[in-house]
Structure 1
Amino acid sequence: MIIENLHINNFKSHRNTHIEFDTGISIIIGGNGAGKSSILEAASFALFKQYTSKRIEQLITIGQKRMSVEIQFTTNGRTYRVLRERTRTSSKAIMKIKEGERFQSLISGDKQVTLEVQNLLEMDGDLFLNAVYVRQGEIADLIEKTSSEKKQMIGRLLGIDSLEKAWKNLKIILDKYNEQKIRLEGKIESLKDLESEFNSKKNKEDELARKIKDINLKIEENIIESDLLREKKQILDKRSLEFENATTLLKSKKDFQDQLEKTGQYLDEQLSEIILKEEEIARLNPRLKKLDVLKSLADKSKELKLLQKDKEKLSTILNDIKHFENVLNENEQYYNDYSLLDSEINNLQYAKDQFEGSRVLIEQYTVRKSKIEDKMKESLGKIRDVLEESNQVLGTSFGSAEEFENHLSTFKPQLETQIRETSDSIQDIKRELSNLQVKNENLEKPINELEHVKDLCPICKSDITPHIREKLITDYQSEIKDNNLRSEDLKEKLKEFEDKKKTLDSQQSKIQSINLEILKEYLNSANDNQKEIDNINSSLQELQKKIVILENIENDIQRNKSQLAAIKGNYEKYLTARGSLESLGDYKEQVVKLEEINVPIRDLKKNISALMEIAGDSVENLPEEIAYLEQLSKKQQHLLGEVSQKDSLLQRINENQRRIQETIEELNKVEKVINELNYNPESHERVKKEWDLKNEELMELGGQKQLLVGQLDQLSLSLQEIEAKLDSLKKYKKELKNLKDFLKLLNVIRDIYSKDGVQKDLRNLSRPLIEEKTRELFEKFNFEYSDVRLDEDYDVTIYGPGGESSLDMISGGEKIAVALALRLGITQVLSGGTLEMIMLDEPTIHLDVYRRQELIDLLKKMSIIPQMIIVTHDTDLEDAADNIMKIEKEEGVSFLVES
């Protein structure tokens, strides 16, 4: 698999990072915590949904709602693209394949995409992390760690640690099933006690059933006797009810007869009163004939008074009309003048309203202008402060941002060039010092060997003389001495360059502290404020012109209002007179109405004279006479109403006599029924008591039966429970046998997963494969070693020209070479020998300067793996890179620095 590109959006600290990968060695470099390792984790997440966070929601950038990772890779000659998206509550995954120049959808869904990736790469997520992904410190651990620690680390890479975990976890499962076995054995021991208890309760159940049968026989006998008493009681109950009803009816009829007789007496009294009222009506009739004449006279007199009152009102109206017409004529000119002035004031007021807002706007503009002037003073003060600080940093006396910018545009590139050249010189010196140290180590080895041998060359094994041996030692020592002198010179130069770089870095740090952009912002702010003040001054001038016009209008309004007040009284008189005339109506119409009233007044006077002649003396006190006669009339009407009930009263008297006769006949019939019943209350009461006693006896027997039935039901439930327990215990026997067989199987499986089982077989199978792949890498790295062996604890033994050696016997650089080859060999075994890409996370961590340099030199020579992606903070690794990608973080956001 070759990764072509990776796009990360809102993943951990990466807001929007897009990385193009190429073959060869790609270095992802950045400071600690910059977000480098997150890039490798994003690739693993895109392919297999693997992540290190406790919860998947923690992968989403803080403050964001959605994240996505898209990876494009090539394998088996085809190009694929996988996109995974995630929100706080849902996820989405899509896999596409490249057909021609376009990508076509292949599959979707988290599980489906992961399975497809596994099928394509022939490995799952865990195997990918162990095979392709080399974690921090793994190469150093293969050198520095103890045998047991190395064994554990390689076991983890090969997946053997999972078997160890399975072996330990099976012990927990076995313990649980053993506890269950003990519980089952304890339950089965209680089987005999339950069977004894069951038999005892079964006998008691039979005894209770017999007692219930005896009580049922007694209950049946008592029920027969109770039924006979109940029938006798029902007959007596019926007679009792009939006797009671007849007695009640007899009393009711007698009460009704008494009531009818009292009613007859009352009706006779009412008839006597009606006869007296008929006589009084006959006496009143002659006196009431004069009432109609008197009432007519009163009505005509009242009507005449009303007409005369209307006549007076019309005369008053005619006089008022003439008065108000005179007022209108006198004040008409004042009314016209007032109307003209009021209209002119309204027009002026409208014009005033158009200019009224000018005063408010002047106040607002004045306040706004004062605030802007304060802001401008503040900006100018900040500009002075920034200029003073910047001049102090550079030791200059520039007076403007343009002068600073021109100076820095030439000074900064020169400074950066000096820093870069100094850094390159430092790296060259360090590299040469490292090479001299390696040379000295390589020279000391043959010196030590020459000092311990007599006549054989330690390298070629040929015969040498003592003179030649001494000469070789002297030459080697001389070369070491020259190298040491050269190293001292280089260290002095290195100190000079490092001091120089510190000075240059200090200058660069000071320059970076100068913020020209904020100075420009202050200048722009001050310019903007000045423009706004100019606009406000222009607006204020226009508003002042409007204020002059406004004051002239207000003077005109005041003058017109003074004139209006002087004639307001005459104006109001005119309005009052006009309103009054409108309400009084037309003068001619009122004259016609007056003439129309005079005619009925004359007619009424004639009618009143005629009626007075008829009434005679009664006219002198007309209202009292009418009132008195009306009282007599009301009394007569009341008497007539009462007398009108005479016929109805006679009918009621006859009806009452008939009902009295019928009631006497009904009383005789009821008395006959009572005599025929022959009812005896004492006999009835005796039968009721006998029936109640029999029922009490039945209830007592029923209670005894219910008690026994309850005991029987409770006993039956207990027997059912015991039977269920017995059945369960019988099942436990079978369950115990199955459990024992299962425990045997689990122990066999656990033995398989143990150190002496599959773990040992996997180690034995993997060691020769790792040795074979590591040996192939020795050849590709052009090592002088021909073979490598791993024992059961994965301790390394290598074979070269000098024979057999352990890691402790070879140089630091050789250790790094062997460790890298061994780690890549493990990767080849895990990947099936088809390794195209590998990821290294901080490979130089925990390595000293010399071993770090050796690893860098090895990586430079590596061409056996098409694609290598290295995450590091070590700038020395840049020398080994074909592609360099720098990652930085600002305000919590990681991003790729454009080169």
Structure 2
Amino acid sequence: MIIERIKVENFATYKQANLDFNDLGPTVSVFGSTGAGKTTFFVDAITLALYGRAYGQAEKKYAKQVIPSWASKSKVEIDFRVPGDSKYRVIRVLQRDGSSSAVLYKLSDDGRTLMPVATGVSAVEREIEKLVGLDFKTFMNTVVVRQGRVAELISRDLTPSERRKLFLKAFDIDFTKHRDKARELYLKTKSELDTVKKEIEKIGSEIDVERELKLKVVELEAQIKDFAAKLRKLTGEKEELSKKLTEIQSKLSEVERRIASLEQLHKTLSEHKGELEQVVKQLEKFKSLLERKDEVERKFEILSRQVGALEEMAELERNVEVVKESILRLKQLMSKRDSLLKELEASQQELEKVKEEVSKLQIEAKKYDELSEKITLIEIEISKLNGYSKFIKESINALKENFGDEVSCPVCNTKLSRDRANEAIIHLTKELSNIESAVKSLESDKRVIALEIEKLKDVKEKLRLKEIALSRLSAKIEQLESQIKDFEAFAKKLSEDEAKLDELTVKFSQLSSQYMLMFGAYVKIGEVKERLKTIKMEHEQISRELMSIKEAAGRIGELKSRRIKLVQLISQLEAELKEYPSLCELKEKLTTMQSSIQEKLGEVEQLISEVIGSKARVEEQLKQIVEFLKEIKAKKERLKELQARSEELEKKANAYLYLYQYVFHEKGLPLTLLKRYLKRVEEWADYYISRFLPGKSIKIEA
């Protein structure tokens, strides 16, 4: 990369500067005192334009320090050429808030912009690194030597070792991390190698038992054959016992079914005997009821007449209660009549008072309207006079402002002499004074009327409230008069109800006397309801008893027929139940045989279970050994893999150890690279020095 032009604006100590290297020779030397801005212009401007960094710092936050105190931003442009003679221009602008923008253009040979190659900070930096082949760190270590570093390099006080360290740092030749990485990888590989060797040793000890396990497999297979033979024998015994058990269970089931059938017959026999006992009891009961038939019918007739008489009296009793309640309610209402009359009288007096107040307020309201109208007329007149006053003032001013011999009249526009004009001014001034006096008089009248209106301002609201009160009182009086009128109808109804009560009482006394003659008991008003309830309960009980007697008369024949049939059924069932004891004895015998065979069958099944369990355990053991043999086979394969891995890790460990001990040692690759770099530096230094001091050369001892 060759820098062709540097341009800065508001950059550190530079307000504006532009340097085109094409106007200079092939070798450029810059002289200036310390702090003059040489490094700022020739190093920091280039690193800021290319990489967005300044003052040799890798962090971009330090870059904004290039913005001087008088500016809000800095701008830098660099034109450079890369191999292949392609020419580029990078422009970067850095703001005080730390934000920045960057654009990279490709240029034609005459310096004109052809097209943008990249836009944006990240895109421009990626493209710069691609074109130049250097990132910021490499650029600073290979292209730039900052102020003060040259003196260090040429100092005679430096030992070769110290100078070597300076050059290593300058060329960024540092393989410490690579050496540490090689050591880390060596230790990691060595650890893995030790693990692999331990696993190889473990697998070797595990596969030694293979022959012993194969012999065990043969032994277990023989045991499984013996268990299979025992299982076949026991299964045959089990099948024979199961067959016998099935036959006995079949016979036992048949006997149990027959016994269950007989037990059902025994239950039916018990039910028939119970039913026969009930039929006999009902026949005796019905015979007893038939003997009481005439007595019950007589009692039923008497109670029926009592119920009829009491129901008639109960109706009268209910009517008496209704009339009494009506009389009581009417008397309570009549007691309110006097209080309503007093309330009506008080409301009428209050109504007259409110009417008088309304009449007075109406007069005041009328006066208020008249005063309001009068003050409006005064305001109109004042407005007219003020307008006329303004016109007169303007006319006087117009006459005064004209200084000629003739003056135009502002009212009629006729020509007036100066004397006539002065007379007109005097006349208009007097008229203006009269108008102002009239306005003052009207203003005084207005204030007087306004005071009167202020006194009457609440009169309309008072009138509205009083009219509402008047309306409510009128409605209340109408309501009270209506209620008092209703009391006349209440008084008439009360008289009628009292007469009706006397009539009902007399009629009830007559019916009570008749009841006394017929049934020997006197009933008062208030006792009828309870007496009727008691008699009705007796009547219903006798009615049910009479129904039972009638039902018994119809069912006696039916019950006799049922008794004969039940006797016959009981005889038949007792004959069938005679074989029940012999069947129970046979059931007990079969049950004993069944238990004996079940016990033997259980023993055989226990043996079968034990043989199956033993066989299963041996098979499981055999299965585990077979699986283990498969694992041993897999472990053999694993052993081969581990051995191969061990050889590979051994080689890697040796390689990493060699890198650590020799290649990345400070006297290894770093020293070799440094020698080559210094040789190249000596060649370039000799080339430049020969241009100033022919025949001289530089030798760097490091």
Note whether the superposition's TM-score is higher than 0.5. Answer: yes
Q: Counterparts of 1:344-383 in structure 2 under 5 Å?
A: none
Return the match for 1:595 from 488, 492, 497: 492
In structure 1, the residue matched to 2:599 is: 689
- Does the CA-based 8 Å contact 2:9-2:15 persist in structure 1? yes
In structure 2, the residue matched to 1:640 is: 543
Distance (whole Å) between structure 1 residues aligned to residue 10 and residue 354 of structure 2: 87
- Does the CA-based 8 Å contact 2:682-2:700 persist in structure 1? no
Matched, 1:78 2:88: yes
Distance (whole Å) between structure 2 residues aligned to residue 283 and residue 27 of structure 1: 158
Which secondary structure does the structure 1 equivalent of 2:632 belong to?
Answer: helix
In structure 1, the residue matched to 2:313 is: 297
Unmatched 5+ stretches in structure 2 = 20-29, 36-42, 64-72, 82-86, 107-111, 358-468, 517-521
Matched, 1:116 2:27: no
Once the two structures are TM-superposed, the CA of residue 119 in structure 1 deviates from its matched residue by 0.3
Amino acid at match of 2:540: Q
Distance (whole Å) between structure 1 residues aligned to residue 544 and residue 221 of structure 2: 91
The C-alpha deviation readout for 1:473-532, integer Å capped at 9, x for no partner, is: xxxxxxxxxxxxxxxxxxxxxxxxxxxxxxxxxxxxxxxxxxxxxxxxxxxxxxxxxxxx
Which secondary structure does the structure 1 equivalent of 2:523 belong to?
Answer: helix
Return the match for 1:789 from 694, 698, 701: 698
Which secondary structure does the structure 2 equivalent of 1:160 belong to?
Answer: coil
Tell me which structure has the larger Cα radius of gyration: 2
- Does the CA-based 8 Å contact 2:682-2:699 persist in structure 1? yes
Return the match for 2:677 from 750, 754, 766: 766
In structure 1, the residue matched to 2:298 is: 283
Which secondary structure does the structure 1 equivalent of 2:174 belong to?
Answer: helix
In structure 1, the residue matched to 2:166 is: 153
Once the two structures are TM-superposed, the CA of residue 159 in structure 1 deviates from its matched residue by 3.3
Change (3 A) 1:337 1:193: same
Return the match for 2:637 from 727, 736, 741: 727
In structure 2, the residue matched to 1:314 is: 330
Change (3 A) 1:596 1:330: closer
Once the two structures are TM-superposed, the CA of residue 691 in structure 1 deviates from its matched residue by 0.5
Amino acid at match of 1:78: Y
Return the match for 1:702 from 612, 616, 620: 612
In structure 2, the residue matched to 1:815 is: none
Q: Counterparts of 1:178-189 in structure 2 under 5 Å?
A: 178-185=190-197, 187-188=199-200
Once the two structures are TM-superposed, the CA of residue 687 in structure 1 deviates from its matched residue by 0.9
Distance (whole Å) between structure 1 residues aligned to residue 577 and residue 9 of structure 2: 118
Q: Counterparts of 1:47-196 in structure 2 under 5 Å?
A: 74=78, 75-76=80-81, 77-80=87-90, 96-97=103-104, 106=118, 115-131=126-142, 134=145, 138-139=149-150, 141-142=152-153, 143=155, 145-162=158-175, 165-185=177-197, 187-188=199-200, 193-196=205-208
Once the two structures are TM-superposed, the CA of residue 657 in structure 1 deviates from its matched residue by 8.0
In structure 1, the residue matched to 2:431 is: none
- Does the CA-based 8 Å contact 1:130-1:157 persist in structure 2? yes
- Does the CA-based 8 Å contact 1:294-1:615 persist in structure 2? no
Change (3 A) 1:759 1:697: same
Which secondary structure does the structure 2 equivalent of 1:329 belong to?
Answer: helix
Q: Counterparts of 1:730-741 in structure 2 under 5 Å?
A: 730-741=640-651
Which structure's relative contact order is higher, taking Cα pairs within 8 Å and 6+ residues apart? 1
Distance (whole Å) between structure 2 residues aligned to residue 93 and residue 671 of structure 1: 123
Return the match for 2:523 from 613, 617, 621: 621
Unmatched 5+ stretches in structure 1 = 9-16, 30-36, 60-68, 86-91, 342-570, 794-899
- Does the CA-based 8 Å contact 2:235-2:608 persist in structure 1? yes
Return the match for 1:230 from 238, 242, 249: 242
Once the two structures are TM-superposed, the CA of residue 293 in structure 1 deviates from its matched residue by 3.0
Once the two structures are TM-superposed, the CA of residue 209 in structure 1 deviates from its matched residue by 1.7
Change (3 A) 1:129 1:335: farther
Q: Counterparts of 1:471-490 in structure 2 under 5 Å?
A: none
Change (3 A) 1:203 1:38: farther
Change (3 A) 1:309 1:196: closer
In structure 1, the residue matched to 2:230 is: 218
Distance (whole Å) between structure 1 residues aligned to residue 145 and residue 227 of structure 2: 92
Once the two structures are TM-superposed, the CA of residue 205 in structure 1 deviates from its matched residue by 1.8
The C-alpha deviation readout for 1:826-875, integer Å capped at 9, x for no partner, is: xxxxxxxxxxxxxxxxxxxxxxxxxxxxxxxxxxxxxxxxxxxxxxxxxx
Once the two structures are TM-superposed, the CA of residue 81 in structure 1 deviates from its matched residue by 6.4
- Does the CA-based 8 Å contact 2:88-2:105 persist in structure 1? yes
Once the two structures are TM-superposed, the CA of residue 118 in structure 1 deviates from its matched residue by 1.5
Distance (whole Å) between structure 2 residues aligned to residue 21 and residue 140 of structure 1: 31
The C-alpha deviation readout for 1:129-174, integer Å capped at 9, x for no partner, is: 4235657864454235432122122123323223x54245324423
Return the match for 1:200 from 208, 212, 215: 212
**Which stretch shifts more, 647-656 or 687-696?**
647-656
- Does the CA-based 8 Å contact 1:307-1:597 persist in structure 2? no
Change (3 A) 1:585 1:312: farther
Once the two structures are TM-superposed, the CA of residue 120 in structure 1 deviates from its matched residue by 2.6
Distance (whole Å) between structure 1 residues aligned to residue 257 and residue 93 of structure 2: 101
Amino acid at match of 1:771: E
Distance (whole Å) between structure 2 residues aligned to residue 721 and residue 642 of structure 1: 101
TM score, norm. by length of structure 2: 0.59
Change (3 A) 1:613 1:759: closer
Distance (whole Å) between structure 2 residues aligned to residue 745 and residue 259 of structure 1: 110
Once the two structures are TM-superposed, the CA of residue 203 in structure 1 deviates from its matched residue by 1.3
Distance (whole Å) between structure 2 residues aligned to residue 153 and residue 777 of structure 1: 22
Distance (whole Å) between structure 1 residues aligned to residue 172 and residue 45 of structure 2: 25
Return the match for 1:326 from 342, 350, 374: 342
Amino acid at match of 2:485: K
Matched, 1:258 2:262: no
- Does the CA-based 8 Å contact 1:191-1:729 persist in structure 2? yes
**Which stretch shifts more, 141-150 or 693-702?**
141-150
Which secondary structure does the structure 1 equivalent of 2:336 belong to?
Answer: helix
Amino acid at match of 1:621: V
Amino acid at match of 2:698: R
- Does the CA-based 8 Å contact 2:93-2:102 persist in structure 1? yes
Change (3 A) 1:326 1:19: farther
Distance (whole Å) between structure 2 residues aligned to residue 607 and residue 130 of structure 1: 138
Change (3 A) 1:749 1:595: same
Return the match for 2:221 from 209, 212, 215: 209
- Does the CA-based 8 Å contact 1:78-1:98 persist in structure 2? yes
In structure 2, the residue matched to 1:414 is: none
Once the two structures are TM-superposed, the CA of residue 259 in structure 1 deviates from its matched residue by 4.0
In structure 2, the residue matched to 1:415 is: none
Change (3 A) 1:315 1:222: closer
The C-alpha deviation readout for 1:311-365, integer Å capped at 9, x for no partner, is: 4643553463344323442466569989999xxxxxxxxxxxxxxxxxxxxxxxx
- Does the CA-based 8 Å contact 2:9-2:76 persist in structure 1? yes
Amino acid at match of 1:704: S
TM score, norm. by length of structure 1: 0.47
In structure 1, the residue matched to 2:360 is: none
Distance (whole Å) between structure 1 residues aligned to residue 271 and residue 481 of structure 2: 77
Distance (whole Å) between structure 2 residues aligned to residue 591 and residue 702 of structure 1: 116
Distance (whole Å) between structure 1 residues aligned to residue 7 and residue 278 of structure 2: 128
Distance (whole Å) between structure 2 residues aligned to residue 633 and residue 329 of structure 1: 59
Q: Counterparts of 1:745-760 in structure 2 under 5 Å?
A: 753=664, 758-760=669-671
- Does the CA-based 8 Å contact 2:313-2:508 persist in structure 1? yes
